[in-house]
Amino acid sequence: MPARATNGAVDVVLGDRHGTSCEALLTRHLRRLFEAQGLTVGLNRPYAGGYATQIWGRPDEGFQAVQVELSRGLYWDEAAWAPSPGWKRCRSALRRVIAELCADQRA
């Protein structure tokens, strides 16, 4: 997402369609994983989730869908239209979040 979308207030926005596309437990867990990487996390503002979360998110049937929006300011120099110095840190943080989420699902 463009850095200006949140005026720099948050690094990550999790969109769960206001709790309708995934269980709150998953959203809270994702929030903790991102925060453990030193990132600030918002929920459903300005992006609550779009078509995919609406169609695929059916937690009552066991289908969880959450939209993850990352501020481009973490990894992209919008003025130069090129990766920023934060690119490697952002990539590492995402890898850790994904790895931990996957490990938690196997346990």
pTM for the model stands at 0.91
pLDDT the model gives residue 8: 82
Phi first, then psi, for residue 68 (nearest 5°) are: -115, 115
Tell me the per-residue pLDDT of 7-58, one tens digit each, with 9 for 90 and over.
889 999 999 999 999 999 999 999 999 999 999 999 999 999 999 999 999 9
Q: What is the pLDDT of residue 105?
A: 72
CA distances from 32 to 27, 48, 61 (A): 9, 18, 25
**CB-based burial, 16-35: b 16+ in 10 Å, e otherwise:** bbeeebbbeebbeebbebbe
Domain parsing of the chain, residue ranges = 12-103
The answer to whether 22 and 49 have CB atoms below 8 angstroms apart is no
Give the pLDDT confidence of 71-103 residue by residue, as tens digits: 999 999 988 999 999 999 999 999 999 999 999
Phi-psi region of 62 (alpha: psi -120 to 50; beta: other; left: phi over 0): left
pLDDT at 7: 86
pLDDT at 107 over 60: no
